[in-house]
Amino acid sequence: MKAFIGQIAALVEGEVQFVVIGGVAAGLHGAGRATFDLDICYDPSAENRERLAKALAGWGAYLRGVEPGLPFTMDARQLLITPVMTLTTSTGDLDVMDRVAGVGEFAAVYAQSVVIRVGDVAFRTLDLPALVAAKRASARPKDLDQLPELEALLAMRRSNP
């Protein structure tokens, strides 16, 4: 988890409006599975896309899995025309999207998020029920494999409010 706090802190400092989703969100809720990238859902407003693009460009963001050296400019326009991107950066791999399957667009994601504090950094992460819905909706094998653990965590929370 510590590996991702630097990225999260920089986004918070850059005033990017986002919610942590995916494996890091699962870890924040107590799941034990390791993850190797940070997934975020971001507010697609023009101002926020500018702030996010600035942070990503500063990290040398480039499309993950694409041959190095091909023309690519990380800017707000790129975020507008490619609302889901898997990126490699100088700070680690990062997936950015403006909606989450099973939850909806950013406003719905934000509404189903909670504030988490790690050290001095406060940020939003998808709440556990929405995370379960997102993992189920994605239907990717790795997400489906994680569902029993997340559902058990959710059941424990509901039985011990």
- pLDDT tens digits, 27-64: 999 998 878 899 999 999 999 999 999 999 999 999 99
Mean pLDDT of all residues belonging to the chain: 93
- Is pLDDT above 90 for 158? no
Give the confidence band of 68 by pLDDT, cuts at 50, 70, 90. confident
Residue at 82: amino acid letter: T
- pLDDT tens digits, 110-128: 999 999 999 999 999 999 9
Return the CATH architecture of domain 2-147: 2-Layer Sandwich (3.30)
Question: What pLDDT was estimated at residue 149?
Answer: 92
77-115: b (≥16 Cβ within 10 Å) or e: ebbeeeeebebbbebebbbbbbbbebbbebeebbebbee
Ranges of each domain in the chain: 2-147
Q: How far apart are CA 137 and CA 108, in angstroms?
A: 15
Question: What pLDDT was estimated at residue 1?
Answer: 63
